[in-house]
Structure 1
Amino acid sequence: MAHFMLEITYTVPLEQIETKLAEHRAFLQAGYDQGLLLSSGPQNPRIGGIVIARAASLEAIQAFFANDPYQIANFAEYRFVEFNPVKYQPWLEEWVTGKVE
């Protein structure tokens, strides 16, 4: 299992982002339901968002985020940073090791 920090940067005004926010959050919920996402939220100041995710590969997580309403509407740019979580809270072990469905 590969792990990623995803940086989403808005490329349109916040007013346009707001029109897709509910759809974007529903999309993210699908990722949580699949066990792909650990955490997500807006940056401060609100110029984009951050997601902590996992997937079989970079290509797999990129394919998942290709369906993000922000991506479909061309409202944001995405930067995927793969990392190896060698230290983490003990209660995260099942998610980090991929034992959670």
Structure 2
Amino acid sequence: MKAVLNDTVIAEAPEQDLIRIEGNWYFPPASVTSELFVESDTPYTCPWKGECQYFSLKDGDTLLQDRAFSYPHPYPTAFERVGKDFSGYLAFSKDVQVTD
């Protein structure tokens, strides 16, 4: 599967390597084009997943704020709920197209 933003592939991995949580596809950290990602200071803590890390994405000379997010250290109970360890996996905002 691919995550595409404005015709640029920002992540790609086989579907069996992704994790689906609450309607979002989470890509393994090694599958993303890391040089396009910039850590954001936007704070958020999910009540059941834990502290979230947002990332802005470089699109040419433009920085698109908070288009990706990850849970670097999810709560242990989140692993039980999801059924897998999704530490560091990345999901994307709705303007990033995830396709087969």
TM-score calculated relative to the size of structure 2: 0.29
Instruction: Please tell me whether Structure 1 or Structure 2 has the larger radius of gyration of its CA atoms.
Output: 1
The structure with the largest strand share of the pair is 2
The structure with the largest helix share of the pair is 1
TM-score calculated relative to the size of structure 1: 0.29
